[in-house]
Structure 1
Amino acid sequence: MIFVIVLGNTMVAKAADGDAEKGKVLFAVCMACHGADGEGNAALNAPATGGQDEWYVVRQLNNFRAGVRGAHAGDIFGAQMRPMALTLANDQAVIDVAAYIATLPLPELATTIEGDAEAGKKAFAVCVACHGANGEGNVSLNAPRLSGQYDWYIKRQLDNFKAGIRGTNPKDIYGAQMRPMAMILVTDEQIRDVTAYIATLE
């Protein structure tokens, strides 16, 4: 069951309590790509899941299940993820696996994107309002954690938002909010710079 709470003027979906032990069993399918501790695997284009916020994991798994993500013709890697999300039989299974993922540690990440982190810090000033000064995210603003995620994945998602691969599905309300923010980064260099800065956050 999903409850809706109101914080200020923002509605946020709050998942019912998940059973992390049941989620651990379900996560066995995820381990093949995302790793036993949710550390991710760049070779398999699998982002880190360990330590990600439970509410955001629930939303994205449900987006994949509903075709809000992974159905766009340009979303090659999302298309790989969608059938995995569909192995979760119901909403409670999604909530349970998200509860387990939230117990996993944030991974130690290698830097793969070259960019000017100082220039990226200036560009990130726009992002702080929602994602926080340390990229910690803010559930009341529906803004996910950015720190603790691979730089290559952050860059890919910014590219996807700019290209309309994410944020253009009519049901992707929060993606639609993010897309114009990504469009502020006009050049690939700017995307690399802000990604390089995010990689320094803890």
Structure 2
Amino acid sequence: MNQNSKLEIQNCSAMLKNLIYNLRVKNAIRFSIKTHEVYQKQKRKGKDIAYVTHPLTVGIILAMAGAREEVIIAGILHDTIEDSIKEKKVDEKMITTRFGKKVAQIVVSVSEDNKTLNWEERKSKARENIKKFKHNSLLVKSADVISNVTELIDDFIVCGDEAFSRFGGPKERVIANYLEVMKIILEKWPQNPLSKDLKNLSIEFKKIV
């Protein structure tokens, strides 16, 4: 193992250690687990896998990218407003009270506010919103996309086109949507710490069209 590889491992280890021992991050993890798992046993689309694995993965991706504390916390909480159940509804005020205004603003910015729209309308609106994102929101969205797309590629390898049957749109549109989202993020913020990952993922994702 060369010196650069050792340094990268040490840096990753330090980032993950900071994530594990940070009290605010631990509180965010508990909050996310309660929202997605304890209160509703939410699952990943079409799978018997706890949904909370996704926001926790987003938090890890952000930590390894060197994101600031409030961005990591927002990543862990990024779906709590959008997916919380009526009886235990999470809103901006609740997140502001518990985690601060900066975290709440990021979470609100990346949340879809109208799930009554059909899939095409929701995704079109979401793409337009991304064009208005500030860097913190773009970084959270980048980690969100990386988590979702890598999981989707893994599922495709195992079960083929069936992996896309869980979505509200056809395979071609699901792929096109993710590719367009990655393109928007890269064009809006070329220096994004996760830009290399997004570029590589775009290339990999195009192979399954």
Q: Larger relative CO (CA 8 A, sep 6+): 1 or 2?
A: 1
- Identify, as 1 or 2, the structure richer in helix: 2
By percentage of residues, which structure has more strand? 1
TM bin, normalised by shorter chain, reads: 0.3 to 0.5
TM-score using structure 2 length = 0.32
Larger Rg computed on CA atoms: 2
